[in-house]
Structure 1
């Protein structure tokens, strides 16, 4: 699974040719959650509150890039890296 961003110990990933709806995976330690790109809602899993807030802030800022990466992954191409939170 390609890693598209890492910040504050949070790893953001997407699978190549993954299932709908458009989403990304956020991993923080032993925690993992899948986020819908359009709504930024948690599809499955959970993160600690602080990590959740950081992921949502990051995803809000990079939603267009996430959608571009989703389309790349759907066509079995490697997604672009996305800058993490500073």
Structure 2
């Protein structure tokens, strides 16, 4: 489970052999969501404010997330993405 970014108590990860559509996982305490890279569609449960920060980060980082998804599919290590500040 390669870590992609960490900020404000949120950990963003991608799995190398994950299912379609392309997405990432975000963890916050006992909460976990998946976010589709293209649409931003969220599945799972997350507190409201951390989710808002996560979606702002997603919008800002979408190109880097796409590139990391391509790396993960090829088994190449993902590159860390700058945290949201």
Report the TM range for the smaller structure's normalisation. Answer: over 0.9
Aligned to 1:31: 31
- Structure 2's unaligned 5+ residue stretches are none
- Structure 1's unaligned 5+ residue stretches are none
Runs of 4+ in 1 over 3 A off after TM superposition: none
Aligned to 1:7: 7
Cα deviation, 1:47-83, whole Å, max 9, x if unaligned, reads 1001110100000000000000001011111110000
TM-score, structure 1 as length reference = 0.96
Structure 2 residue 65 is the aligned partner of structure 1 residue 66: yes
Cα deviation, 1:26-55, whole Å, max 9, x if unaligned, reads 00000000000000011x311100111010
Q: Tell me the CA shift for residue 17 of structure 1.
A: 2.3
TM-score, structure 2 as length reference = 0.97
